[in-house]
Structure 1
Amino acid sequence: MAQLFFLIWSGSSELLLLSVMAFDRYVAICRPLHYGAIMSPGVCMALAGSVWGICALSASLNTGLTAMLTFCGPRVIEHFFCEIPPLLLLSCSPTRLNSIMTLLADGFYGFTNFMLTLASYVCIVASILRIRSREGKRRAFTTCSSHLIVVSVYYSAVSCAYISPASSYSPERSKAAGVMYTVLSPTLNPLIYSLRNKDVHRALGKLLPFCQR
């Protein structure tokens, strides 16, 4: 149950943080002169605290509902770690409420956050298209490119793992998706976000000769 709590807490927090980062990019590109006032240190701390608090409450609720289930059958989980879908398959008590709460959480963290991120990028793209200089467009795009790559990788993996009917649940597909969003995505994040760093470019140039451009 502890593993389940921290898994839900960290996974859902990353989804919310990606939406907050999309809003940060929106302010940086669409309202650059007001960026310091809108994204002040106090606002950033409040946003981060709200993300962790909301996700901790959601994780506590779903973990508590899972802990109330009765597991009287085989205790072998068809996964690398304790997730809600494989745990519900092992329960011999009704799981309707658990399924409903999981679906609501998926809708909020998946669909709602995706739509907020999409809305931010629609405004960003519209703003970039109004920039006349090619250099200005390039700089605006590079500001968002890292975040877009991370969002694409993470949402693809989470969608494969959670956003599917219970009747079509596949342990093997869930395992592959689990590896992507718990191992691959966090491993790639530091590299993706540091690609714009000049020191990283120089280090890659020394390590890989074909990167020296």
Structure 2
Amino acid sequence: MLPDVLPDGAEGEYRLTATALDRTTGQAQILDIPATTLTLDAKTPVQPAPELDWLSQLRNWAKRLPAGPQDFAPSFEDIGRVNQYVPDQDYLNQAEIALRYRLTQVFDPAQQLEDAYALALTQILQQEFDGAIAAFQSLTQLDPQNPYAHAYLAFVQLYGFQPRAAARSLEPAKRLAPDQPEIQILDEVAGLMSGNLFKAWEIFQRLKA
């Protein structure tokens, strides 16, 4: 679904352009399309609209990632629904290719950050964990003050049985949000997987209190 409220600064007139990206070669070609202008106005009444394409829905899901796992959790129901319609999940590969291209072409920091979270989500959903680690490592540079960027990286590293790397990734998250239960739990798991039973026990006792 389209958002009911436009993001800040989104109102105005936009001129549409189109680029075709070859999935096999990675070559891009600018398409010659009729001049089309789109006006966004927050005062315009919401009109019924068809469901967004899968790639646009994925980008909307990814917008919830920076706010943390609890905010992202409702997206899992949507993801499961879409995957019923697209059992081969080819839209994830399409999105990955498009997002990797966009990240070389778009230099607005806010848009880069949004695209980077969407790319990371494609890697998670495709279970490409080396790619997910690389994507979240990039995000910790683009969004260094967000504790969840570091926590997501640690989570993927734990999934890949890299507990010591996960513990290092969690250090900024613990400084930024020391009281977040999700971050404390990840720290406990990293301690257990690293064989640091005393640290894991200490965190467990704090969580019980």
Is the structural similarity TM-score above 0.5? Answer: no
* Structure having the larger proportion of residues in strand: 2
TM-score by length of 2: 0.24
> RCO higher in 1 or 2 (8 Å CA, sep ≥ 6)?
1
Larger helix share, 1 or 2: 1
TM-score of the superposed pair, with normalisation by structure 1:
0.24
